[in-house]
Amino acid sequence: MTTVSELINCLWKAPPYPAIRLHKDRTHPENFVYYKSWGFNIYRTYYGEGSDKHWAILMDALKRQTYLSLRGLEEDMEYELDTRRRIHHHRNKQQYMEDLERLRKLFRLEVREGPELEGLDIYQVRRISAEENKEGKVITVGGRVQYVLVADEAVLRNIAEGEFVVKAVAYKWDRSMNWGWMRIPTAYLLELWQTLVLCEEMDRDIIWFLGPERELEKCIWPGEDSVPATSCCSEVRPLYRHYSGQGLWAEIEREIQKLRIARTAEMSGRPRELSSKFCLPD
């Protein structure tokens, strides 16, 4: 799992040598300027009638729910998990709480909106954000976070209908591995960030969905079991799967797994019959 100490240390960029010892102390108030922000760029691509209201609701939900998620890490159980780490752990609860406050202050959503973005699809936004990344205009921490958020027509209509989701899009993407985007609940931003940091260490992608791309408009990312379920701090729905689309995600993955087993058996000369409503490409 990714602890608070690991999150804050990946944001700390110590001043270059030479520097007096005071300047190397990341906890000193004067050194707050040496931290990088965490969060995401968010691109708005729909400006239809009434969408301004739903855009404002979306932005408010993303910020409020992320702050509530950080509050969830104040629990003694989370602090105890942090202290078990052999490196970068906190010496006491006060220091731990001070780092949580730093994380709250460092959270950013960099808004991109305007007529030049109207009507753009996922792939067009990906190209724009990739170019902005080269120019240093995308919130990132090394190679750990290579995602932006997108609020298109579907997202803002979902907000109007009470389904609080936003699209997360990878601007560095291997098309042979996955579709490079997903819908995530607004309460899952902290979980997404923690998962991205964790996956950098594990050298794997967090988007493991391999069903048809059209199904992604109905499916919702179910989160990562290896990070704290901080989304529960602001969701009023039942625990673990807050949306039906999260269950659909798992259902489709099971179907695809059946097809994989059948394909492997067929190629090895051991045909097996496994019914599935999807087809793998030849």
Q: Tell me, what's the pLDDT at 116? A: 97
pLDDT at 36 over 70: yes
Distance (Å, whole) CA 158 – CA 125: 20
Q: Tell me, what's the pLDDT at 178? A: 79
Q: Tell me, what's the pLDDT at 43? A: 98
Alpha carbon dihedral 275, 207, 230, 164, in 10-degree steps, equals -80
Q: Tell me, what's the pLDDT at 282? A: 46
| pLDDT tens string 72-109 | 998 888 888 777 765 566 778 899 999 999 999 999 99
* Residue 167, H or E segment: strand 165-170
| Tokens describing residue 165 | 């989701």
Residue 127 Cα distances to 70, 88, 117, 176, 177, angstroms:
31, 36, 12, 18, 18
| pLDDT tens string 232-252 | 888 766 655 667 677 776 777
For residue 166, what are the β-bridge partners?
184
| Tokens describing residue 87 | 């490196």
| pLDDT tens string 208-237 | 677 788 888 988 888 887 788 888 888 766
Minimum mean pLDDT range among 5-14, 57-66, 102-111, 157-166: 5-14
**Would you list the domain boundaries of the chain?**
4-203
Looking at every residue in the chain, the average pLDDT score rounds to: 82
Q: Tell me, what's the pLDDT at 87? A: 56
Q: Tell me, what's the pLDDT at 274? A: 44
Beta strands in 36-164 (DSSP E): 38-44, 107-112, 147-151
- Higher pLDDT pick, 4 / 128: 128
When pLDDT is cut at 50, 70 and 90, the band that residue 173 belongs to is confident
- C-alpha closest to that of 15 among 33, 3, 27: 33
Residue 281 DSSP SS3? coil
Q: Tell me, what's the pLDDT at 185? A: 94
Q: Tell me, what's the pLDDT at 1? A: 63
Q: Tell me, what's the pLDDT at 132? A: 93
| Percent of the chain's residues with pLDDT above 70 | 78
The alpha carbon dihedral of 130, 131, 133, 138 has a sign of negative
pLDDT at 161 over 90: yes
- Higher pLDDT pick, 72 / 120: 120
